[in-house]
Structure 1
């Protein structure tokens, strides 16, 4: 009987392990880690690439501002195959972005909102910076084509975290999208609302298959690239290190892959990201071997107080920049006198350095008694934490881009 029970237990464990393997679950980035990214948007709407109906004037080919958000898995800005929300419909048709809200979840869903300036030509570059954390590792963005009925380019819920680590650099190609709100086939078509409203779909060289369509190139297997989105990690902040930022090493070069954005968790996207992650790990291992003995032990750094991982304010409060030298002391004679360092209480936090966007707040404390002999050294005298968000900016600020 006992052997039968053991056999049954082994079978149950084996089945559970198989289910876990088949689920395809991958570790997420730690909520204690904050990363800052730069997104660079390049557009290639030129007469050479898209000669049919190319708009030369009134207005000429151009792009609206880029509206983006870093968010959790529960937020959807737009989704191919689904009807556009009122906010997406207004933005795709008129460029108004005030209706692109947070999806009703506030900070639990949206972490940061960013805006890249519009560009007055069809081929240009624009960029912006934003923050992500382990609970909000995805990014969505969109930019409207001008002129067009309701066409845009964008990214839907792209995850910058792969296997528990932040991607260093990746470039994504985008096709033009139709918001499904207007029946026009050409860039300058009159306003013919779709009633009932259709779904968001990808414009291809042979779809819509109407000869009047400005993107109808049946002789091509696919449309030329009209835009790319490049994400570059600038800096990471780790709560376990007292919130100090670790800048990305510009000398570390990752072989950059260019993928086609498929707006969702597709197998092809995941395979490319996993391949890049393997390259990143190999590069980090090679760099680690070359460091040698020139390292400072983290044992000399006081561990910060843990905060709830789901509390954004507490997490940002814990991101402090503590820059002070770790001194090595010579052995003193037993009869030497010593005195521990004494410091004052912390001052109040200063005001935020900016009134709109991501800024800093600081607080200080003073040395009352300097250490003597083998006494305990002084702790950090300056703390800095993040404050504000691009979401704090008034709507008029975004409309100026």
Structure 2
């Protein structure tokens, strides 16, 4: 009898599984997942252009020790199931070390591990650093249908853990490769260091935060180097242009060596200098009123002062008066 009950229970369970299975099959199957069916590989040229000028970002713009500049670019070509970094997700140890210190060894090991374990990474690319807030770096790379996505990261120097980059841009469009892709880039916070300014000392974020985009109002703190409350949006701090190139017998996978022309202003840089972000004057709070100076029995004067924290730039609001005086009566007369 017990055996019969057991068999009946299994039958009921089997029927329930079939019923649930039928219910699952009735759910709509997504059909909008892009699938690359390009038959051949494609070669692309990548140009990174820094737009980090003192006119566009006048607040606390680093001019020395070290001056504004960009790290080398590290990128990967990969499938859709891989992410080097993701907005609103935690940064890996490799991303942490790269954005805080510029050390790429752990990040490269993470990329290699992903390529070996799940075969989601096809190639690694790099480009030389830009010595200055404006300038360009270039590299070339190859993609094919199964690994048609590109991701990269560039560290903002100096900064606590700030960077720019792309997360999984698909260069394939159905059965053919896109001719070109151009994107403006904005700063991100890796969520591993709590500094507010470009030159903040190392101050580890515990617990670690997720990767967030830095805006003109976030983090909402007047000490933040990117805090421009008068702006609705920050101007782009960099730009990337990816262009399909004609195939040749030689596969170009090494970064283009830096040349003297990388340090010369380009047409884009000249145009970028027209971006003038207004920076209002910032002053401290008033000091306490000073002693009342005057003869006993007569009215005197006392003063208070404040000082400039941030000088205005690009037609920003000028500084107010830094000294005030008022009448008073000495209170220390015998």
- TM-score relative to the length of structure 1: 0.54
Tell me the residue number matched to 2:64.
57
Measure how far apart 1:103 and its partner are: 5.9
Query: Aligned pair 1:104/2:113, yes or no?
Result: yes
Secondary structure class of the residue paired with 1:84: coil
Query: Aligned pair 1:80/2:87, yes or no?
Result: yes
Query: Aligned pair 1:140/2:148, yes or no?
Result: no
Structure with more contact order per residue of length (Cα contacts < 8 Å, sep ≥ 6): 2
> Cα deviation per residue 1:11-35 (whole Å; 9 max; x = unaligned)?
xxxx99x946x632334133x4111
Measure how far apart 1:149 and its partner are: 0.3
Measure how far apart 1:212 and its partner are: 0.3
| Stretches (4+) displaced over 3 A | none
Tell me the residue number matched to 1:12.
none
Secondary structure class of the residue paired with 2:70: strand
Measure how far apart 1:105 and its partner are: 3.1
Secondary structure class of the residue paired with 2:181: strand
Which of residues 219, 222, 226 is equivalent to 1:208?
219
Question: Which segments of 5 or more consecutive residues in structure 2 lack a partner in the other structure?
Answer: 1-24, 258-334
Tell me the residue number matched to 2:293.
none
Which of residues 82, 88, 113 is equivalent to 2:124?
113
Which of residues 198, 208, 212 is equivalent to 1:197?
208
Distance 1:390 1:73, change over 3 A: farther
Tell me the residue number matched to 1:154.
165
Measure how far apart 1:72 and its partner are: 0.9
Tell me the residue number matched to 1:38.
45
Larger Rg: 2
Tell me the residue number matched to 1:326.
none
Tell me the residue number matched to 2:174.
163
Secondary structure class of the residue paired with 1:140: strand
Question: Which segments of 5 or more consecutive residues in structure 1 lack a partner in the other structure?
Answer: 1-14, 237-244, 246-320, 322-352, 360-388, 392-396
